[in-house]
Amino acid sequence: MSRGLFITFEGIDGCGKSTQARRLERRLEEEGNASLLLREPGGTPISEDIRKVLLNPDNSSMAPENEALLLAASRSQLLKEVIIPHLEKGTIILCDRYIDSTLAYQGFGRDLPQEWLRQINRLAFELAIPDRTFLFDLPVDVALSRLGDRQRDRIEATGVNFLEKVRNGFLTLAEQESDRYIILDGQNQIEELEKEISSQVLRIIS
Ligand code: TYD
């Protein structure tokens, strides 16, 4: 059986990627192509436990290196337990955030070296590079206003300058890998974005 398809959704907090990941899952189901929707950090019981530590606003003293290591640990568990076995079985995997979030948030946002981030995420780079990555780009103030007054998690709460660096980081990564990345205007209508994403994915499947 051929390897499954691996699609990731990326962008700053409030960009709308989670809504689109869920809509694509539904669309694929309607077309008779069942998929598996995952999120990062998370997706396995151990990874969900690590997520709680990572996002807990009480953990304000967490060092950036340890944030990156916990993310890599969560990802490694998800890869071994779910992503790799399912890709081998031919499953379509949709992942709400993946390795590019680490390169953008911990690399461009927290100024950790890209090379070290790639090393601690070696498993992902060697075994499971996404086939397509949808990047939802939009101005930071628009994204933050969408989040409204809801309680921010520890990483979201870092601030506007941080998210500006993350946004620009994602755009740089997309430029470096223009074959894999598809940049979308996160301010477009939800239905328009849905149509564009599903037509791109259905084209790959057929
Ligand atoms: P996410 O689940 O997308 O947030 P939400 O619950 O608002 O949908 O992501 C949680 C936070 O984790 C988000 O602020 C981005 C951050 N994050 C990183 O900093 N690096 C990473 O590698 C990943 C996967 C997430």
CA pair distance 121, 102, nearest whole angstrom: 9
The structure's pTM equals 0.96
Asked whether the beta carbons of 206 and 35 are under 8 A apart, the reply is no
Which tens digits make up the pLDDT trace of 160-190? Answer: 999 999 999 999 999 999 999 999 999 999 9
CATH of domain 6-205: 3.40.50.300
| Strands in 40-171 per DSSP E | 92-96, 132-137
pLDDT digits (tens, 9 = 90+) for 80-113: 999 999 999 999 999 999 999 999 999 999 999 9
Q: Which atom of ligand 1 is nearest to the CA of 102?
A: 22
Instruction: List, as one string, the DSSP characters of 143-163.
Output: HHHHHTTSPPPTTGGG-HHHH
Residue 152 Cα, ligand 1 centroid: separation in angstroms? Answer: 11
Structure tokens at 6: 């691996």
Q: Is 156 in the pocket of ligand 1 (CB under 6 A)?
A: yes
Residue 1 has pLDDT above 90, yes or no: no
- pLDDT at position 157, please? 84
For residue 27, give the DSSP letter: H
Closest-CA residue, ligand 1 atom 5, reads: 13
User: Which pLDDT score is estimated for 110?
Assistant: 97
Least-confidence region, from 20-24, 141-145, 165-169: 141-145
CA 140/CA 131 separation, integer angstroms: 27
**Residue-level pLDDT at 156:** 85
CA 127 to chain centre: 17
Residue 74 CA: which ligand 1 atom is closest?
24
Integer Cα distance of 37 and 96 in angstroms: 8
For residue 50, the CA-to-ligand 1 centroid distance in Å is 12
What is the number of residues in the chain?
206
3-state secondary structure of 94: strand
What's the mean per-residue pLDDT of the chain?
96
Ligand 1 atom 4 nearest Cα: 13
CA separation, residue 98 to residues 7, 8, 78, 83, 170 (Å): 10, 7, 10, 11, 12
